[in-house]
Structure 1
């Protein structure tokens, strides 16, 4: 994975301690399929978790964040 790939940009964003939603991923790297990119990153061993957030009444979207506790124990991505 290169730092300029969609996965690389998303991973760097998450490792910076930020969260990401599908709309933010579209703006950050042009990804229309954030869930698929997260699936690939998790398959590589990155501890990423999802939370559903309400963006307006009755509308929820996925928001992802990197779990640093698991990364330190497993030595993933460092």
Structure 2
């Protein structure tokens, strides 16, 4: 299975994902590139920036926004 399918399946389960988790779970070292491809396919994925706990700066955490039925 490729990384796009693995990450999308993870996000569709209502989970979020960060780069560290993507490496540990799927050996995916280019999560931002995978997210970009998924966005180009029409998936609404938002980026949350969280403060790093052990150092300065922030890291990204991605979340899929599910479509609401009207």
Q: How far has the Cα of 1:58 moved from its partner? A: 2.1
> Contact conserved, 1:9 with 1:28, CA < 8 A, in 2?
no
Q: Does 1:25 align with 2:35?
A: no
Aligned to 2:3: 6
Q: Does 1:15 align with 2:4?
A: no
Stretches (4+) displaced over 2 A = none
Q: Using the alignment, how far apart are the partners of 1:55 and 1:12 within structure 2? A: 26
More helix by share: 1
Q: Which runs of 5+ in 1 are unaligned?
A: 74-78
TM-score (structure 2 length as normaliser): 0.88
Number of aligned residue pairs: give it. Answer: 68
Ranked by relative contact order (alpha carbons within 8 Å, sequence separation 6 or more), the top structure is: 2
Aligned to 1:58: 56
Q: Using the alignment, how far apart are the partners of 1:40 and 1:72 within structure 2? A: 22
Q: How far has the Cα of 1:37 moved from its partner? A: 0.3
Aligned to 1:76: none
Q: Using the alignment, how far apart are the partners of 1:41 and 1:72 within structure 2? A: 19
Corresponding residue SS for 1:8: helix
TM-score (structure 1 length as normaliser): 0.80
Q: Which runs of 5+ in 2 are unaligned?
A: none
